[in-house]
Amino acid sequence: MKVGVLGIGITKFGERWDQGLRELLLDAQLRALNDAKIDAKQIDTLFTGNMCGDSLSGQLHIGAMAAENLNLDKPSIRVEGACASGSLALRQGVHAITSGEARVAMVSGVEKMTDVSTEQVTTALMGAGDEELEGFNGLTFPGLYALLANAYMHKYKLKRETLAKVSVKSHFHGARNPYAQYQNEITVDTVINSPMVADPLTLFDCSPITDGAASVILVSEEIAKKAGVEVYITGSGLANDSLSLARRKSLTRIDASFVAREKAFNQAGITPKEVDFAEVHDCFSIAEILAVEGLGLAKEGEAGKLYDSKQTYFDGDMPINTSGGLKACGHPIGATGVKQAVEAVQQLRGEAKERQVKGAGIGVTHNVGGSGATVCVHVFKKVK
């Protein structure tokens, strides 16, 4: 499979009081069109990832909004898969191209989260979990991931300082990303001594509430070759598990990550050893540890070694979340999966500047919905 990425666009992530949901989406769409150097009329279909448009912005029917923004009457669909909405939209775009249904597809993700109270956001996000088994009993996502963290730290003796190094690395990269919500470096002490959210996770172990949008334009291999496209999506994998942690086989691994990775890597014809960098779903620091192992970039129980030896920095042996990840770049739910794609393309094009991975040829994105109920993995490859 080879689907070309013709253009990318991303807004600044953060508390965007200057733009609403529609404006954020339009901003990313226009940036992608400008990067692709095409007219909107050339788009055959649109897919837009969004989770909470209704509960946080009072706006549904976002597929129609995406088309209206560009004055198009082409097929346009909103895609929802909790925090994996963006990557699911990307997968739909890939399928539209590979099936022959479309030759040019615009894939976007958008979320506006900061206009309401933290309580409203927390309630909306809990819709990604099991409402009856978890929500009704008072659990929120920090609590769910704290359960995973405690189980993992107990089984594999992961040190608290090592877990904190995940966020330290993310902020290091975020400080070098002009689109990131947080562009400041932090220390291990900053993480450990920040306010407790759900033991052992403190404030700096958690991704923030964020506004933002991202967009990519996918094209057929034929068009890509004519346009001299350098970056292709060569693998796409999707897997699911139970909504609730109570029904999981294990609390120290995300099974769906292993399955989605195998599907995507097999399709792309690669092994974990060939991956040059990865953008993974670090909604909480422990989630990044689990993601790295799920992608086969470290053995189960051993991901912490990569952080202790600083191998996950952009100039290390296994760069992880060079964008700053969800932690530092921000986590506008529906946009995250598409943002990961934008970062992958920037790295493979050699446009990441201060956080550029030297000689990057293959990148992977890993996006999770809920506490691991949905996982979507994509493989990006630079083709000379």
CATH value at residue 185: 3.40.47.10
Residue 308 shares a structural domain with residue 169: yes
Q: Given 227, 260, 293, which residue is the final one in a domain?
A: 227
In a domain, 131, yes or no: no
Residue 326 shares a structural domain with residue 268: yes
Q: Which residue has the tokens 């226009």?
A: 30
In a domain, 245, yes or no: yes
Domain extent, residue 267, equals 137-208+235-378
Structural domain tally of the chain? 2
Residue 36 shares a structural domain with residue 148: no
In a domain, 124, yes or no: no
pLDDT, one tens digit for every residue, the chain (384 residues)? 999 999 999 999 999 999 999 999 999 999 999 999 999 999 999 999 999 999 999 999 999 999 999 999 999 999 999 999 999 999 999 999 999 999 999 999 999 999 999 999 999 999 999 999 999 999 999 999 999 999 999 999 999 999 999 999 999 999 999 999 999 999 999 999 999 999 999 999 999 999 999 999 999 999 999 999 999 999 999 999 999 999 999 999 999 999 999 999 999 999 999 999 999 999 999 999 999 999 999 999 999 999 999 999 999 999 999 999 999 999 999 999 999 999 999 999 999 999 999 999 999 999 999 999 999 999 999 998
Residue 366 shares a structural domain with residue 259: yes
Residue 222 shares a structural domain with residue 301: no
Q: Given 227, 259, 277, which residue is the final one in a domain?
A: 227
In a domain, 95, yes or no: yes
Number of other residues whose CB lies within 10 A of the CB of residue 329: 34
In a domain, 163, yes or no: yes
In a domain, 384, yes or no: no
Q: What residues act catalytically?
A: 83, 331
Residues 6+ apart with CB under 8 A from 380: 5, 231, 232, 233, 234, 341, 344, 345, 348, 362, 363, 364, 365
Task: Tell if the pTM clears 0.85, that is, is over it.
Answer: yes
User: What is the C-alpha separation between 361 and 274, in angstroms, rounded?
Assistant: 9
Residue 141 shares a structural domain with residue 104: no
Residue 239 shares a structural domain with residue 360: yes
